[in-house]
Amino acid sequence: MQRDDHINGSILHFIKHRELNEIYLSIALRFFALSMIGIFLPVYFLFDLGFSLELVMYFFIIFSVFFAISAFIGAKIATKIGFKHAILLSIPFLIAFFLLLPLLETYRIPLFLLAAIGAFSHGLYWIGHHTDLAKFTAKKKRVKQVGWSFFINSAATLLGPLVGGLILTYFNFTILFTVGSIILLASTIPLFFSKEFYEKFPFSVKKVFKRGTIRDALTFISQGMEIGAAGVLWPIFIFFILGQYFVLGIIGTISGAVGALSCLFAGTFSEKVGKRTAIRIGAFSLSALWFLRVIVQTVTHVYVMTFFSFLQTFSYVPLDTLAYNKARFSRRIVEFLVFREIFLNLGRVIIYLFMLITASYIASFIFTGVAQVLLLLF
């Protein structure tokens, strides 16, 4: 009964809060489009375009570096034109990124230019996204509201990978990127439903690195490593086992379903045991998950590991909630969020460099698992 009350309360909260509703709806459409493409992108580079593993890692390293740089630029732009407008501005760059991808088969488009375009879009979007959530989520309800945003993200990815896999089975990547671009355009519509908020958050590039502590930086590096490994290394690794786009899409859909269900309870769990306790439990659980991924050899193993993907949600809901709390408490929201993006991307660079040097998925998974202990510092 308490679970039903919690879920009904979350839905009622969704209905009552207009600003958050628009963010949630825009997020849902965006994440649906990205989920159609994201899980297949590393595979596209490696298997369809025939890039070497080293070149794929170089691409994602460059992407992450530009992402960190664009966080500075995006923050400066957002404080001038508004944070919803920053999200809107990110869409044309992301569409350009998607539409340029299939041209790699016939034209020598510089990879650093492609990475810069995609990264700039991400920098603009995530600064606007996180600032909206940090501003409009209520302190006492933030863990539930952040949990709800995670639910929207996960629910939106339920059908995306499956649809993407079907498109790739019957058509090709060009069609996939085009369909994704159209949905991205649709994701901008909810942001027009209400006025932009033009609150001028103070922002100084010089003070960005004073917003967080070394402990915060190490935590974000650890989180960035996990995001990088889960988003790039893991899809490539399991595609060697699965061998089909459609089956990879099914895995992505199951992961989204597991994540969506876990989001409904992650907030309640965090409130009952405390956010820091939840992070501790999540850190050790995530470490164990990455260690177990080392032994994955069959399709059955992949499915089993996918069902345990909820552990990421149970870690990141309290972690992101604390990050938003720190951003609001610092009274320099944008600077703290830029600080966060920089070290998240540094974490991505570290795991990609490690993979580049070792050329070992197993060693990279172990390294990622060990790094999750740093979440305890937050």
Domain that holds residue 323: 15-197+208-377
Specify the 3-state DSSP secondary structure of 128: helix
Asked if residue 287 belongs to a domain, the reply is yes
Judged against a pLDDT cut of 90, whether residue 49 lies above it is answered with yes
Give the pLDDT score at 20. Answer: 58
Asked if residue 144 belongs to a domain, the reply is yes
- Apex CA 131: angle with CA 127 and CA 134, to 5°? 145
Asked if residue 203 belongs to a domain, the reply is no
Give the pLDDT score at 6. Answer: 43
Give the pLDDT score at 135. Answer: 65
Asked if residue 4 belongs to a domain, the reply is no
| Polymer length in residues for the chain | 378
Give the pLDDT score at 188. Answer: 82
Q: State the total domains in the chain.
A: 1
In Å, how far are 65, 92, 102, 117, 173 from 110, measured between CA atoms? 16, 19, 13, 11, 19
Average confidence (pLDDT) over 55-78:
92
Judged against a pLDDT cut of 50, whether residue 5 lies above it is answered with no
Asked if residue 186 belongs to a domain, the reply is yes
What's the whole-number average pLDDT of the chain? 84
Asked if residue 202 belongs to a domain, the reply is no
The predicted-structure confidence for 125-181, as pLDDT tens digits, reads as follows: 887 777 766 665 555 566 666 666 667 767 777 889 999 999 999 999 999 999 999
Q: pLDDT: is 297 or 190 the higher one?
A: 297
The predicted-structure confidence for 258-305, as pLDDT tens digits, reads as follows: 877 887 777 777 778 887 888 888 899 999 999 999 999 999 999 999
CATH number, domain at 35? 1.20.1250.20
The predicted-structure confidence for 193-203, as pLDDT tens digits, reads as follows: 766 655 566 66
Average confidence (pLDDT) over 80-104:
88
pLDDT band at 88 (very low <50, low <70, confident <90, very high): confident
Give the pLDDT score at 17. Answer: 55
Asked if residue 120 belongs to a domain, the reply is yes
Give the pLDDT score at 231. Answer: 94
Give the pLDDT score at 142. Answer: 61
Average confidence (pLDDT) over 239-256:
93
CB 155: neighbour CB atoms within 10 A?
19
| Burial environment of residue 260 by CB neighbours within 10 A (0 to 12, 13 to 18, 19 or more) | buried
Asked if residue 170 belongs to a domain, the reply is yes
pLDDT band at 306 (very low <50, low <70, confident <90, very high): very high
| Burial environment of residue 272 by CB neighbours within 10 A (0 to 12, 13 to 18, 19 or more) | exposed
Q: What percent of the chain has pLDDT over 90?
A: 49
